[in-house]
Amino acid sequence: MKALVALILLVQLPIHNAVPAAPPVPLGCDDPESEAAAEVAVNYINSHSQHGYKFALNRIENIRVLPQGLNNDIIFLELDLLETTCPILSPTPLANCTVRSFTEHAVEGDCDVKLQRVDGILSVLASKCHSHADSSEDVLQLCPDCPLLASLNNTEVLTTVTTALNYHNSKTADAYLRLLEIGRAKIQYHPTHVVSVEFAVVATNCSAEVARVNVEACQLLPEDQSNFGFCTATMVTRPSQDLKVDCQLYGHQVPIPDIPFLSQDTSAGLVPSVVQGFTNHNLRFSHNNPVASESSSSEFPTFTLSAKRVAKRAVAEVVQHDKVPRPVGFLPPPPPPCPGKIHHFKI
């Protein structure tokens, strides 16, 4: 009995020499865990975007991890993305999509993403994004003769799209195509006058031959048979006229939910997504994951600290923890570097 009491007293005695565990070192923007979270975030953004093109990661601007409990973290990411040449409805995997070059008048996306990591499994809770084209001055400085992005509702752009789609439908024996949206447009004025356009299309339930007789009979295919595609066209108006059109259908695709223009007649070439003054489809959307395991609040922390201030704060935290006795020769870990590396180029 005396031995048992002594053992209990021993267990209850405070252990003054125990070294408290230091908090985990903050993630750096180029850490593999950060890259993995960014990959999940970009895939989520592309899968929930409704217009334009797929975006690829260019740089992780900032990352913040908030522990929620055992093996449960909330991760906030601030990402820079770049537009690729793959339309949003294209089945091409993002890894095989080419990032649009700087001289093509590149478009950058800025996104804040909130994720949850439970037992190593990442899921997106919410995202906020917008995009903008690079400044005309930057493009012309590097490439003075490169054509710039034109407004999607420019008269020449709309005329070229309508002419190109009518030309394709007049030459094909396949399904009659209708316009979904204009993706991009550029106008070159010298030495020749050239209008270049890119636009998404959808197949109808009748052939182009039938449409020539009764176009009003052509309706969009049922959802389980939907077939989207993409066209590029260039029209030269001076010094001589020339039109080149190339349209490709992807095969059956499950449409993105809540696309409003699928139920509207766009055969006239005017689509709801064409907004006054827009030169590109802005990646402007906020999305909450309705099946997230945590509250899908779209609130994000404001990343206002510069990289130097973040580094200083990390060093201060390390110094604070180093007041605890350390083994001889212990070196504190370096502060996490943010922003991360640039994968393609900086706008």
Among candidate residues 27, 12, 16, the one with its CA nearest the CA of residue 336: 27
CA dihedral 164, 169, 171, 175 (to 10 degrees): 140
Each domain of the chain, given as residue ranges in start order, spans 25-147+291-312+336-346, 150-252
Rounded Cα–Cα distance for residues 165 and 268 (Å): 10
pLDDT bin (cut points 50, 70, 90) of residue 107 is: very high
Statement: residue 324 has pLDDT above 80: no
The answer to whether the beta carbons of residues 84 and 184 sit under 8 Å apart is: no
CB hemisphere CA count around 347 (13 angstroms): 25
Mean pLDDT lowest among 86-90, 236-240, 260-264, 292-296 = 260-264
Burial class (CB in 10 A: 0-12, 13-18, 19+), 9: exposed
Place of tokens 């997230």: 292
Statement: residue 284 has pLDDT above 70: yes
Chain CA centroid to CA 26, Å: 25
The predicted model gives 211-231 an average pLDDT of 88
- The identity of residue 238, as a single letter, is R
Instruction: Give, in order, the Cα–Cα distances in Å from 102 to each of 47, 60, 130, 149.
Output: 25, 19, 19, 12
Using DSSP's 3-state secondary structure scheme, residue 197 falls into: strand
Output the pLDDT for position 334: 63
CATH of 25-147+291-312+336-346, one of 3.30.70.260, 3.40.50.300, 3.10.450.10, 1.10.260.40: 3.10.450.10
Going through the chain in order, the beta strands assigned E by DSSP cover 53-69, 72-87, 107-118, 121-133, 148-149, 175-188, 193-207, 227-238, 242-252, 285-288
Rounded Cα–Cα distance for residues 296 and 10 (Å): 48
- The identity of residue 11, as a single letter, is V
pLDDT bin (cut points 50, 70, 90) of residue 322 is: very low
Q: What sign results for the dihedral spanned by CA atoms 249, 251, 257, 260?
A: positive
Q: How far apart are the first and last CA of the chain?
A: 76
Architecture of domain 150-252: Roll (3.10)
Percent of the chain at pLDDT above 70?
72
The predicted model gives 233-255 an average pLDDT of 88
Task: State pTM to two decimals.
Answer: 0.78
pLDDT bin (cut points 50, 70, 90) of residue 28 is: very high
Statement: residue 18 has pLDDT above 80: no
